[in-house]
Amino acid sequence: MRYVEPLSDARTPPADFFSILLVGRNRIGTVPITETKRDYYEILGVDRSATRDQLKQAYRQLALKYHPDRNKEPDATAKFREIAEAYAVLSDDAKRHEYDATGHAGVGERWTADDLMRDFQFGDFFGGRFDDLSSVFGDFFGQRTRPRSGASRGVDLRYDLDLTLEEASKGGEREIPITRSEKCVPCAGSGAKPGTKPKPCPDCAGTGQTQHAKTSKGMRVVTLTTCSRCNGRGQLIESPCTTCQGNGYEFVTHRLKVQIPPGVDDGMMIRLARQGEPNANGGPPGDLLIRPHLRPHPSFDRHGDNLYMVKKVTFPEAALGTEISVTGLGGETLRVTVPAGTQSGTALRLSGKGMPRLGGKGKGDLFVVTEVRTPTNLTPRQRILLEEFIVQEAERPEQG
């Protein structure tokens, strides 16, 4: 969770506040990454206008197809890495915007391969069912992950949930569609057309591996390789099931009710136990990981539990002091005292009017940042008064 140092009741906000308000919340390092890569949209087989749900669906289908646990082809691991990196970039709004604007060159200047994958948790997304990937991605991204212990379980699923700032503040129940791969009913998961069965591969005798022997310097060396005919499955399907096209599973969409806690923020994860993919070997299902994404708000900018908004005040109001009204996030009218001599950029605190803190521990604060308007199109009378003001200011003794 991000944290912004609290301000006093009336003081200038951080120097980068307005750039944060306009540019966004992320602070990105610049380390180059490899340049020679295929177009991410082409890798996932989607249009450049694809929605987040379309990206997720394309990723899941390709990931299941090329996953080393399912696909024993020599290039399956490389393709899986490529697919995962494409989705990690395009599923993140900031990274996707940069990629759309500048391509691989721009992404390479802002993020390393580690940065691209940092928020994409393979252990959580694929669960214990694919524990062997800890070494695959550990080597590829320069880090080692420790395999999980205990019984194997199904794949964890991730769902990206768009929320308005108001929805994140109130929390409540949301219904979301979740698509999971489940055992194909017509073929009972065999992949073969009903009434038929897969046959053992004759090349590997159903083992999924073939032996190659050669004699060198009087020694007989035997090597085992993945069977090219059955791709390591040990079985051949002569008549594929028309429902699942021989995969043994099909995608089924369920609608789940999810409780969103008040105060949820970007980057948090809501975990629903046992709502992920089922385990192919009879183990427990994986979990569903819900990642909230807060939409930009036209009036408020969020930093941790605090909210910031900009309020324009006139030059006389700032000089003489006044009381102004602002509208809070919940639509309520709030009164704010503007002290005499307030400068543009002063943050005025309204305690307890920010976002709810998780766990019901009160609320953050709302900071009203003043923007003093310089008068334009003065009337003759106003011009005379301001000119008189300038003269009187010049005659005042300097105050140390």
Q: What is the mean pLDDT of each run of 10 residues along the chain (400 residues)?
A: 34 36 31 57 92 89 81 82 88 82 70 54 43 42 40 83 97 94 90 94 89 78 85 89 89 94 92 86 85 96 97 96 98 98 97 94 96 93 93 81
SS3 content of the chain, % helix, strand, coil (to 5): 30, 25, 45
Listing DSSP states for 240-290 in one string gives B-TTTTTSSEEEEEEEEEEEEPTT--TT--EEETT-SPPPTTS-----EEE
- Measuring CA to CA, which residue among 254, 262, 257, 260 is closest to residue 175? 257
Give the pLDDT confidence score for residue 112 in this predicted structure: 56
Give the pLDDT confidence score for residue 106 in this predicted structure: 65
Residue 111 CA to its chain's centroid (Å): 15
Give the pLDDT confidence score for residue 51 in this predicted structure: 92
By CB atoms closer than 10 A (0-12, 13-18, 19+), residue 220 is exposed
The per-type count for the chain, helices as H runs and strands as E runs, is 11, 16
Classify the C-alpha dihedral 166-171-176-182 as positive or negative.
positive
Q: Rounded CA gap, 129 and 135, in Å?
A: 14
Instruction: Give the tokens for residue 192.
Output: 């073969």
Q: Rounded CA gap, 317 and 322, in Å?
A: 6
pLDDT digits (tens, 9 = 90+) for 290-301: 999 999 999 999
pLDDT digits (tens, 9 = 90+) for 143-177: 333 444 445 788 899 999 999 999 999 999 999 99
- Virtual CA dihedral for 211, 217, 218, 219, nearest 10 degrees? -40
Q: Rounded CA gap, 76 and 318, in Å?
A: 66
Give the pLDDT confidence score for residue 360 in this predicted structure: 85
Q: Are 127 and 286 in contact (CB under 8 A)?
A: yes
Domains and CATH numbers, the chain: 23-177+258-294 (1.10.287.110), 301-395 (2.60.260.20)
- What separation in angstroms does the CA of 388 have from each of 86, 211, 340? 65, 100, 20
Q: Rounded CA gap, 354 and 305, in Å?
A: 6
Q: For the packed helices 76-90 and 133-140, what is the interaxial angle rounded to 10 degrees? A: 70
Give the pLDDT confidence score for residue 115 in this predicted structure: 52
Give the pLDDT confidence score for residue 110 in this predicted structure: 59
Give the pLDDT confidence score for residue 233 in this predicted structure: 80
